[in-house]
């Protein structure tokens, strides 16, 4: 299968390249990287996006402004307009599937301990399932909700297979342990433990999002590790994508 990955030079992108090494992968980046052979692309350029996806079967769309602190002007172009361009390019090139990198920030206000500190988690957090209403915690989160809706539209209107993958916080074990020290609030530490996505589990969930036989489209799937503190339900990700996470933040912190 020919698979294009936008944002391939980013943190999740690097794991996606490893996850999909059994496919014919085209890494797409915003600027040149010596170690990556693939086209460069401004995702706000619709015509260039269509050219970049020629001959592809699937797209893993990771590119965009990744900052939860970004203002609306900074996220609208790359995250909303860029995702529209991604879906139009996929439609024009008859791709079979688009895996879109959504975010936990699309639903984080369900359980934020403090609305002014979205990356915090209250102690009595309730489980959030993919079909629960979205409750974004930032302009970044709003942009992800809008982009998920674009995927829903292209799945329903144009028959694309779409996976909206709500990705947690990708960190290695050392980085996770660092979040549990220092002056951070207990609510912030709890958020990090709940949202942890280990590199190995990241590779697993990306591979399954690309390769799994989907029972329906679109699919909304949460992408975190099997953390005891998680509030994002993994039941649907496991059932619909056959995702089998191996890592737990509590075990990693204690290791």
Closest of 104, 115, 113, 95 to residue 49, by C-alpha: 95
Closest of 226, 217, 228, 231 to residue 241, by C-alpha: 217
DSSP 221: E
How many other CB atoms are there within 10 angstroms of residue 107's CB atom?
A: 26
- What residues contact 213, with CB distance under 8 A and at least 6 apart? none
State which H helix or E strand residue 5 sits in. Answer: strand 2-6
140 catalytic? Reply is: yes
Catalytic one of 87, 140, 154, 243:
140
> Hey, which residues are catalytic here?
140
């Amino acid at each position: 299968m020919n698979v294009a990955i936008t944002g391939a030079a980013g943190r999740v992108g690097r794991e996606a390249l490893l996850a999909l090494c059994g496919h014919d992968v085209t890494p797409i980046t915003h600027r040149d990287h010596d170690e990556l052979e693939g086209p460069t692309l401004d995702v706000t350029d619709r015509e260039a996006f269509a050219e970049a996806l020629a001959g592809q079967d699937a797209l893993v769309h990771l590119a965009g402004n990744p900052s939860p602190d970004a203002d609306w002007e900074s996220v609208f172009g790359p995250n909303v307009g860029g995702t529209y361009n991604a879906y139009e390019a996929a439609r024009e090139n008859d791709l079979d599937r688009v895996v879109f990198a959504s975010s936990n920030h699309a639903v984080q206000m369900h359980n934020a301990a403090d609305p002014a500190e979205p990356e915090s988690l209250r102690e009595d957090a309730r489980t959030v399932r993919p079909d629960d209403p979205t409750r974004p915690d930032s302009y970044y989160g709003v942009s992800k909700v809008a982009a998920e809706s674009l995927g829903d539209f292209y799945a329903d209107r144009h028959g694309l297979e779409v996976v909206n993958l709500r990705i947690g916080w990708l960190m290695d074990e050392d980085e996770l342990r660092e979040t549990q020290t220092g002056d951070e609030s207990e609510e912030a530490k709890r958020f990090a433990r709940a949202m942890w996505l280990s590199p190995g589990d990241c590779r697993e969930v990306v591979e399954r999002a690309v390769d799994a036989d989907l029972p329906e489209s679109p699919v909304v799937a949460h992408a975190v590790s099997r953390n005891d503190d998680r509030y994002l339900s993994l039941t649907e990700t496991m059932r619909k994508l056959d995702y089998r996470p191996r890592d737990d933040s509590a075990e990693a912190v204690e290791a």
